[in-house]
Structure 1
Amino acid sequence: MTPEIGHFALALAFALALIQSVVPLIGANRGKLLWMQSARATSIGQLLLVGLAFGALMRSFIISDFTVVNVASNSHSLKPMLYKIAGTWGSHEGSLLLWVLILTLFGAGVSLFGSNIPDPLKARTLAVQAWISTGFLSFMLFTSNPFTRVFPPPADGKDLNPLLQDVGLALHPPFLYLGYVGFSIVFSFAVAALLEGRVDAAWARWVRPWTLAAWMSLTAGIVLGSWWAYYELGWGGWWFWDPVENVSFMPWLLGTALLHSAIVTEKRDAFKSWTILLAILTFSLSLLGTFVVRSGLLTSVHAFAVDPERGLYILFLLALSIGGSLALYAWRAPMMEAGGIFKPISREAGLLVNNLILGAATGTVLFGTLYPLFLEAVTGEKISVGAPFFNATFIPMMLPLVLFMGVGPFLSWKRADLAGVLQRVRFVALASIIATLVLWYLQEGGPLLAHLSILLATWLLLATLREWAMRIRLFDVPISEALRRARNLPRASHGMTMAHAGLAVAMFGFIGSSAWKVEEVVFVAPGSTIEIAGFEVTFEGVERVRGPNYFADRGTLDVTRNGESITTLFPERRYYPIAESSTTESAIRSTLAGDLYASIAEPASEDAELSGAWTLRILYEPFVNFIWLGSTFLILGGALSLSDRRLRVGAPKRTRATSALSTPAE
């Protein structure tokens, strides 16, 4: 009975979405207050109904109800409870239900917490959000029902993909979808502004917290996925430029540009048309990612390779959403007022450069991701565009951005004194050069690009700290006064400092683990010793152990340095009999200086001379933990900014003057 309740709740949510997509919009156009305010009830109702459906599906997984096809295909009675729960969103249907749940969550959030948003704008925004809900609810009900029954039910389930039975992957999709889908509400604000014909500082203030929440969640989702790939896949890598990775990275890049562009719109009433376009394109890339991983175009560990008919449905939704919004933008945007004037040397100009570089970088990743798929569709020829292409194009493009990020916060609005800015950062530049030369000496040379990148990362970190120190007048006033000034700084200022510093710290990890990584792949038998990065690693052998739903061959590695015992590592090779699949569980000795990383593969029994030996992969990854540390700073910086009281109250009052587009209904 529970699955039927969930299915009925989805049908009712679909009906509410249809009402919400029409009634508030008509009310906004005709000035009918009750019609506009109906969006509050329908948006909250949608959230409750979709939440009920999601709870019904989760209960089916928890109790192992194998009469539900989704449960029978993605769960097993012996699976640990955490992964039974995670199985709720581990399939195409379940993840789509999570997608819609988060979609309704953001819509209800605007209804509940957007009390300072004018009724016409809120009504139009929630109506647009309901258009998106209608599309995806219909997709679920007509093509991807998560509650489809099977009779007679199987005795047990097929189990979830073993690679997905991991804490990192249990948390990765919810955060990723909070980011993906979170940009939907920003998209809805943008389309509503075009329909209303008004974009101003107040609009930008209302949009910023939702943009920040989505960006922060997407950052957390990407980092969790990267962390999972690092320790679970057994390759010792944290980013592979996989197409499915890229389709989550592209909205993050444009979302970062959108965050900075919205600041200019709020502070200087400029970049209005550009901010609207970024809001549309950011969510459009989220929709594109949804299409790529659900259309059957890709087969990946974290893609849903489904039948093409579903892909065509999503393609139709994609064309309708992106095409319709861009057509509306082309019609309305040219009539927007230009906004504030600024000089080439100013904070506005710096943020414009930021946006242009991020936009170009997004285009590069988009081309490298879609070109192989397009070529195969047109000619049937299969080509691979991998890490060499992206490293050769994306990285050089991003390095100037890091340079500008160090200078940008020192620039004043409208017009800046370049000589004065250079005066403030000259010691930062000198210290960065000295630090890079010291590293060059300690590493006895190395890749030139790596040292240039380290120079820029050091520059960004020191420049960010210098700008924060100037704000509180550290070393210029007594420490008690500096601390008082720090307490009185807006939280958004602290958040910006933490986020920029976090990117610099993460760069140390990106660079160190890529440029100075040491790797050994060898055949070993019990008693074999490998020397790597000053460590001696002795292979003691393998024993068979049993887990809740798997068997594992667990290796034992004794690690010493200069004759002193350091640690013992236990890499595993797991076999899941129900899923008939194997996974690698790496063993890692982590320090801030670097990771000693070990994984084992199948015995090399084909060669008679190596019979009984194992393939052992040992890596030393310098500074790799700076990636997770810096990413944590990025997320905390976003959270600090989001907690700034100015983003919740005190939005600028709208003037009665209207733009040239139209006169909004009041």
Structure 2
Amino acid sequence: MISLFGNLLLYSAAIVSIATIIYSKLFNIELNKRYKYSSFFTVAQFLFIFFSYILLTYAYIVSDFSIFNVWQNSELNKPLIYKITGVWGNHEGSILLWVLILSFYSFLVVIIDRIIPKNYTLNVLFIQSLITLAFLLFIIFTSNPFILQYPVPSDGVGLNSLLQDPGLIIHPPLLYIGYVGFSVVFSYSIAAMLDKDTNSTWALWIRKWVYIAWCSLTLGITIGSWWAYYELGWGGWWFWDPVENASLLPWITGTALMHSLSIFRSSGQHRDWTLLLSILTFSFSLMGTFLVRSGILTSVHSFASDPQRGLWILVIMSFFVIMSFTIFILNLTENNEKTNFYIFKRGTFILFNNYLLMLSCFIVLFGTLYPLILESITSEVITVGPQYFNTVFIPITILLAILMPIGPNLPWSGKVSTQTINRICMSLIITISLIIILQIIVEGKTFNLNLLIIGLGAWIIINSIVDLLPNNNHSADKNISDIIMFNIKNINLRRAGVRIAHAGFGLLIVGIVTASSYSEQKDLKILNGGIVDINKYVLQYEGLETDIGENYDDLVLNFKIQSHNKNLGEILPKKRFFRNSGDITTEAGIFRHNMSHIFITVGEVQESYIYATISYKPFVRFIWLGSFFMVAGLLTSLLIRIYFIKRTHD
């Protein structure tokens, strides 16, 4: 019954998607009636897909192994939380979640954007329904999660052991909310071009959708990075895996799009560039979906290895990319936007920022696709690894870090004030002083480029703080405490969100460079009671014990950790044995001290000794903290804008 009703709901969703497409373009029907029916069909589309997803989730919860997808990805003894989240731990379930989120965004357009002209909204729903229908047909014909099997097995194969982790609960949904969120931006942009109405109001309409999608994608990438760091035992946060790169591409173009929108809203310039970025961002989202599900990649992230599925997604991607670029070319403006050029203008620096971002995007795209193209032509297998990406990204990061603190301080008009120069000089002097102190303490007489990059990250943070101070604090007649309190009470709220986000990027730079350049690692054979010194820490191995989980058994290795003869706690790396599949995974042990980590992974385990890798990673937590700051800053910016808009109306 679950299979029957699940399929009926998917077919019904496809039918109402077709109805939305037709009704939104029936010009012989009154506009209000078209809008009413198209909105109704859009809501029905979401409900049909939602209940089909609920049915599949229920099948996982009750372990209905008559459904092939449930049998292949679940088992009787799997913890309930992983039965629920295991729905999206496979290709069929995850693509259904993808379409559910897509239909939910369409639902939100109907519910939230009611003040937008109806003919414009109809164009948005038309594009959204086209995308939804394409993926519904993809599910029905190639990736149906409700396929039955007979006879019914008594137990399931089980979820991929690496996916039985809290990261699975959060990482994929956030990524999909980000990927699919850019479909709304894409649909709004295409609708604006179809409606010949790409003014600053259009930019205002899509801003919240850009923010939501970008924040979700950033959180998804960040949590995925943390998941790989501790679960896979890599001890690294980014390995330039092709699928990782595929998620980075829409993030880069989405970042450029946010900045380009600010120029377009303020001056009306670079309209074509902004439209192009909105198209590219969703196109890269589709490309990421293709790479994960086409079978052309062998990766821990890959879901499928069926060429037929890859062909379907390639056709879908090609259709929307070609269609959107055709509409874009037909709507290019004839106005060359000739204005007086000022190099020290905020818009100019944002444009430089965009060019650097797009250069980095091209570098990632080339490094990701070149091996695939070469293999398809010559059958030669090559790998473009971290050395290539790190080498070309360092100069781009340096340039971005130099421009980032300056640009937001500059006026839109190009007339630089004394106040602006003072702010930049103040933050620059503090930063140079900090770099000199670090050079003396850390490196002595030896120059290290990494310290310069750390200093640039610190400059972004310092400048972001300085830029929040009020323009005039009347400090002549006040003592230090009064000046501090005055500055805190009069922080420039309108700038707060952007400056928090920029400070987060500075933290990210500091964390990456420090953890990469100043980490320590030891690969050791450790006897029972053995002692290991690393940096300022002393670790003692005290033997092993066992722990029984719901569907696995843990072999827990006990380490005590001290620093300066003070007991700090314990580290418990594990070897995990899954009973049903027989898989063995390594669970890293991590001790968090201030902003640094002591990281332990275990190899061979014997009763009297173990082989282990012990690492010290200074300030590594800045990597994820910086990413969360970027998201918090952007959300703060959105909330502050809403607050001031409401206050203006009141």
- Give the TM-score, by structure 2 length: 0.94
Residue matched to 2:18: 18
CA deviation vs aligned residue, 1:183-230 (integer Å, no higher than 9, x gap):
000000111111112211100000100000000000110111011111
Q: Which residue identity lines up with residue 310 of structure 2 in the other structure?
A: G
Residue matched to 1:523: 525
Distance 2:12 2:472 in 1: 55
Q: Which residue identity lines up with residue 517 of structure 2 in the other structure?
A: A
- Report the secondary structure of 2:14's partner residue: helix
Residue matched to 1:470: 470
CA deviation vs aligned residue, 1:398-425 (integer Å, no higher than 9, x gap):
2211211100111111323287643331
Q: Which residue identity lines up with residue 137 of structure 2 in the other structure?
A: S
Residue matched to 2:516: 514
Distance 2:359 2:349 in 1: 16
Q: Which residue identity lines up with residue 202 of structure 1 in the other structure?
A: T
For residue 516 of structure 1, report the CA deviation from its aligned partner.
Answer: 0.4
Q: Which has the higher contact order (CA 8 A, sep 6+)?
A: 1
Distance 1:600 1:283 in 2: 41
- Give the TM-score, by structure 1 length: 0.92
Worse-matched range after superposition: 53-62 or 37-46:
37-46
Q: Could you list the runs of 4 or more consecutive aligned residues of structure 1 that deviate by over 3 angstroms after TM superposition?
A: 334-342, 418-423, 470-486, 644-652
1:222-233 matches, cutoff 5 A: 222-233=221-232
| Cα pair 2:470 2:487 within 8 Å, conserved | no
Distance 1:394 1:83 in 2: 38
CA deviation vs aligned residue, 1:485-507 (integer Å, no higher than 9, x gap):
44x834xx321121111111222
CA deviation vs aligned residue, 1:28-47 (integer Å, no higher than 9, x gap):
x9873321343221221111
Note if 1:640 corresponds to 2:608.
Answer: no
Counterparts in 2 of 1:498 and 1:526: CA distance versus 1, 3 Å:
same
| Cα pair 2:602 2:613 within 8 Å, conserved | yes
Residue matched to 1:619: 615
Residue matched to 1:78: 77
- Report the secondary structure of 1:129's partner residue: helix
CA deviation vs aligned residue, 1:271-297 (integer Å, no higher than 9, x gap):
111010000000000000000010001
| Cα pair 2:521 2:613 within 8 Å, conserved | yes
Residue matched to 2:544: 542
| Cα pair 1:345 1:417 within 8 Å, conserved | yes
For residue 483 of structure 1, report the CA deviation from its aligned partner.
Answer: 5.3
User: Tell me, which stretches of 5 or more residues in structure 2 are unaligned?
Assistant: none
For residue 89 of structure 1, report the CA deviation from its aligned partner.
Answer: 0.6
User: Tell me, which stretches of 5 or more residues in structure 1 are unaligned?
Assistant: 606-610, 653-666
Q: Which residue identity lines up with residue 3 of structure 1 in the other structure?
A: S
Distance 1:51 1:336 in 2: 45
Residue matched to 1:150: 149
Residue matched to 1:602: 604
| Cα pair 1:9 1:49 within 8 Å, conserved | yes
Distance 1:474 1:397 in 2: 40
CA deviation vs aligned residue, 1:617-665 (integer Å, no higher than 9, x gap):
100000011122212211211221232454996899xxxxxxxxxxxxx
1:575-594 matches, cutoff 5 A: 575-594=577-596
| Cα pair 1:516 1:621 within 8 Å, conserved | yes
Q: Which residue identity lines up with residue 10 of structure 2 in the other structure?
A: L
Residue matched to 1:563: 565
| Cα pair 1:284 1:322 within 8 Å, conserved | yes
Distance 1:432 1:367 in 2: 35
Distance 2:82 2:10 in 1: 24
Q: Which residue identity lines up with residue 435 of structure 1 in the other structure?
A: L
Note if 1:34 corresponds to 2:30.
Answer: no
Q: Which residue identity lines up with residue 383 of structure 2 in the other structure?
A: S
1:497-508 matches, cutoff 5 A: 497-508=499-510
Distance 1:256 1:591 in 2: 32
Q: Which residue identity lines up with residue 219 of structure 1 in the other structure?
A: T
CA deviation vs aligned residue, 1:585-625 (integer Å, no higher than 9, x gap):
1111102241111111133x8xxxxx953220100000011
CA deviation vs aligned residue, 1:344-395 (integer Å, no higher than 9, x gap):
3211111111111111111111111111111111111111111101000122
Counterparts in 2 of 1:501 and 1:31: CA distance versus 1, 3 Å:
farther
Counterparts in 2 of 1:483 and 1:464: CA distance versus 1, 3 Å:
closer
| Cα pair 2:470 2:490 within 8 Å, conserved | no
Over the residues paired in the alignment, what is the CA RMSD in angstroms? 2.4
Note if 1:87 corresponds to 2:86.
Answer: yes
Residue matched to 1:663: none
Note if 1:5 corresponds to 2:5.
Answer: yes
Counterparts in 2 of 1:472 and 1:263: CA distance versus 1, 3 Å:
farther
For residue 556 of structure 1, report the CA deviation from its aligned partner.
Answer: 1.0
Residue matched to 1:133: 132
Distance 1:149 1:120 in 2: 43
- Report the secondary structure of 2:331's partner residue: helix
Worse-matched range after superposition: 434-443 or 445-454:
445-454
Residue matched to 1:659: none
| Cα pair 1:268 1:340 within 8 Å, conserved | no
| Cα pair 1:402 1:456 within 8 Å, conserved | yes
For residue 125 of structure 1, report the CA deviation from its aligned partner.
Answer: 1.0
Q: How many pairs does the alignment contain?
A: 643
Worse-matched range after superposition: 340-349 or 310-319:
340-349
Q: Which residue identity lines up with residue 426 of structure 2 in the other structure?
A: F
Q: Which residue identity lines up with residue 297 of structure 1 in the other structure?
A: I
Q: Which residue identity lines up with residue 69 of structure 2 in the other structure?
A: N
Q: Which residue identity lines up with residue 458 of structure 2 in the other structure?
A: T
Distance 2:248 2:415 in 1: 33
1:268-287 matches, cutoff 5 A: 268-287=267-286
Q: Which residue identity lines up with residue 589 of structure 1 in the other structure?
A: F
User: What percentage of residue pairs aligned between the two structures are identical?
Assistant: 37
Counterparts in 2 of 1:517 and 1:383: CA distance versus 1, 3 Å:
same
- Report the secondary structure of 1:352's partner residue: helix
1:449-464 matches, cutoff 5 A: 449-464=449-464
Distance 2:339 2:196 in 1: 18
Residue matched to 2:95: 96
| Cα pair 1:272 1:339 within 8 Å, conserved | no
- Report the secondary structure of 1:277's partner residue: helix
- Report the secondary structure of 1:584's partner residue: strand
1:82-231 matches, cutoff 5 A: 82-231=81-230
Q: Which residue identity lines up with residue 555 of structure 2 in the other structure?
A: D
Residue matched to 1:405: 404
Distance 1:475 1:385 in 2: 56
Distance 2:339 2:190 in 1: 23
Distance 1:100 1:555 in 2: 43
- Report the secondary structure of 1:415's partner residue: coil
- Report the secondary structure of 2:515's partner residue: helix
| Cα pair 2:56 2:87 within 8 Å, conserved | yes
